[in-house]
Structure 1
Amino acid sequence: MRAGEVSRVGVVGAGTMGSGIAHVLALAGIEVRLVDVAPEALGRARASIERNLARQARRELISTDEAGAALDRITAERSLAALEDADVVVEAASEDPTLKFRLFEELSAVVNPETLLASNTSSISITLIASHAADPGRVIGMHFMNPVPVMRLVEVIRGLETSDDTADLTLGLCARLSKTAVLANDYPGFVANRILMPMINEAVYCLMEGVAEVEAVDTVMKLGMNHPMGPLALADLIGLDTCLAIMRVLHAEFGDSKYRPCPLLAKYVAAGRLGRKSGRGFYDYTAA
């Protein structure tokens, strides 16, 4: 199958990343089945996609008709069984290895033998995930960036057994979505998070050790390093729980103390201060 022939894609997980992936797929003319066991998550995802499509239409990036057609292409589903005839499935569940392994086992029992299975994991080994699929050659990493409709990059990660056909189809699909695909090898954190997360972690250490306050840390990186967003604000956008999970993977896989998660990051997560999605992280969003 060629990328232009892909007509049905399943997205597993209706969180921030899953809804964003569904958004860009639908805009590319692809029928999307968005799967999540939680009906409230599906409701939030559809509302978010509708708002973001309307924003694009107001900015004249797309037409009103295109926005409506894209929304109509997205179907909310509660069961993986709805993906039995999908050409591609993108898993966008929480960054939990046990959950991802189980999903790939279950997907292998549902989809047809030719279906490409992609994971949006930001740090977990694609080779390890693929070992839980019936055919590891059909498994690949598609690491989209947040917010998906805005960010152009997709890290494409080949596992040890990923076939050339799987890689070619994935690269073609990224191009169809108007994304720039960059190939990375299967190492913890790949490229993006191996570089980004230690920077965020060090910013949290600066806060914990009293080097500077939140706004000062972010201002230094924005004005001094020309970053569009400070590392602590970016952590809030990504989700502090996701940042912590990635740092724990890096620390466990490399065994190097430079990847040790900052205790303050772990404390914030334990307190439920997860960033924008919980209303409070390093910044307070409750009044926004």
Structure 2
Amino acid sequence: MMLKFFDVKVFVLACELKNLSAVARELGITPAAASAALKRLELALDTRLLQRSTRSLTLTQQGQSYLPHALKALESLEVGRQAVSGEQLKGNITLSVPSDFGRNSLLPILLEFQKAHPDIALKVRLSDKYVDFYSQAVDVALRYGEPEDSSLVSLPLVRDGERVLCASPDYLERWGTPQHPQDLIKHNCLHYSGDDTLDFHWRFYKDGQRLSVKVQGDHLSDDGDYIRQLAIAGAGIAYKTGYDVKSELADGRLVALLPDYQKEKAPLHMVVAHRLNFDASLMALRQHLLTALKDA
């Protein structure tokens, strides 16, 4: 059975609004028509995507697996519509990004995006703090980890990102290379303070077990780029997201440590305050980021 674009759109909207009446109001249809669209989609896929109650909708496991594909399909169709219509994207995008990622990885990616869309003006705010969309006039944020605010719309850019434990060759020559997470207790660990929170525990995984180590050091900062620069200078050991230290690991300025242990996950998401904010310009930006980060 062929999938219908409208049915997929109803499903995506239902995942966000979690209520069929709200979906119907958004699309200007009846709740019965919205319900019929979901039933057609589930029949075409031969699986249950949503659990329905009188008040809300919740994703099944199959629905969770299908949602990112549905989102990508809708985005691709919108980008295709723009291509055949000759529509030139215009406007402004205010983007909040982590400091290290923005300075050292994202800059060339955004330059290429603006070459493709010269009438879009970008305002980039570099900050490692979680953005307040309602007070800071930000259109979209790029953030590592799972967003804490469930009311926000979060779309994955890099699902399999991980943190990297690393130090400079000079530091390791002077202080030795840790062989076990507990060895970090004896090292100078460069600590990132995060969003006004202090958690001095670094976590590692092996054979299904989690190892949590309380670290300490003589540097504390809320700026990820500052921590990276300290590590390169030989000041201590850093626990950074992989994209932030990719080039330094490649050219030998930093060395990855504890290769036998899995590190904490660091997926990268594009976050907006509401689905209605996700217009054609942001769709084009997300498509560009997906391609660039996949190829990076």
Question: Is the shorter-chain TM-score for this pair beyond 0.5, marking a shared fold?
Answer: no
Q: Which one has a bigger Cα radius of gyration?
A: 2
- Higher RCO (CA-CA < 8 Å; seq separation 6+): 2
Q: Which has the higher helix share?
A: 1
